[in-house]
Structure 1
Amino acid sequence: MTLAKSDIIDNIYQNTDFNKTESVQTFETTLEIIKSTLENGEDLLISGFGKFEVKDKNQRKGRNPETGNDLILGARRVVTFKCSGVLREKLNGK
């Protein structure tokens, strides 16, 4: 099962004193903070959860799977996630 955005908002609504609108605003604001932090190239650490890191990938050779032609894939930035030890232990039932 995948937890969707609407499910998270419903959980906020059910577990706080926020009304539905406040729950949506709280979640949207949190997402905007996370997105802007990562867009600025900054890492994001959430204690007990994990760390999102922005990493630069160099230009590299690739291949078009349809034609088999070689091509150059441009440099890009990616976001990686490293799970915290606390969460890892919970996932593994420790």
Structure 2
Amino acid sequence: MNKSELVEHIAKSADISKAAAARSLDAMIDAVKTTLKKNQSVTLVGFGTFSVGQRAARSGRNPRTGEVIKIKSAKVPKFKAGKALKDAVN
């Protein structure tokens, strides 16, 4: 399912226009991004938790030259599924 299909599904389920569903979805995504930028987590009970993790610095290889390069540490978004979501999938 892509974003436009999700917007269509939200519009049908909530009995609202596609434009309103798109604005709602965009607002939700923006809220999650803003919260993660502040190094905080977003928990949706039954669905899951979005959080920020830390990836350690490491060495890698340039695939073209084979040269060893240093890869900096980085913050990465993480998602941990909640119990209700896990149960729905299984």
TM-score, normalisation: structure 2: 0.87
- Deviation of 1:17 (Å): 3.1
Between 1:59-68 and 1:72-81, the stretch displaced more is: 59-68
Once the two structures are superposed, what CA deviation does each residue of 1:31-76 show, in whole Å capped at 9, x if it has no partner? 1111111122111111111112201222211111222111100111
Any unmatched runs of 5+ in structure 2?
none
- Give the corresponding residue for 2:42: 44
The secondary structure found in structure 2 opposite 1:72 is: strand
Structure 2 residue aligned with 1:34, among 32, 35, 45?
Answer: 32
Structure 1 runs (4+) deviating above 2 angstroms are none
Matched with 2:56 is 58
Shift of 1:26: 1.1
Correspondences of 1:16-35 after superposition (within 5 Å): 16-35=14-33
Counting aligned pairs with the same residue, the percent is: 28
User: Counterparts of 2:27 and 2:59 in 1: how far apart (Å)?
Assistant: 39
2: distance between equivalents of 1:67 and 1:51?
Answer: 40
1:88 corresponds to = 86
1:7 to 2:12 alignment: no
Write the distance in 2 (CA, Å) between the matches of 1:74 and 1:13: 42
Question: Unpaired segments of 5 or more residues in structure 1?
Answer: none
Q: What is the RMSD computed on CA atoms of the aligned residues?
A: 1.3
Residue aligning to 2:68? 70
Aligned length: 90
Give the TM-score normalised by the residue count of structure 1.
0.84
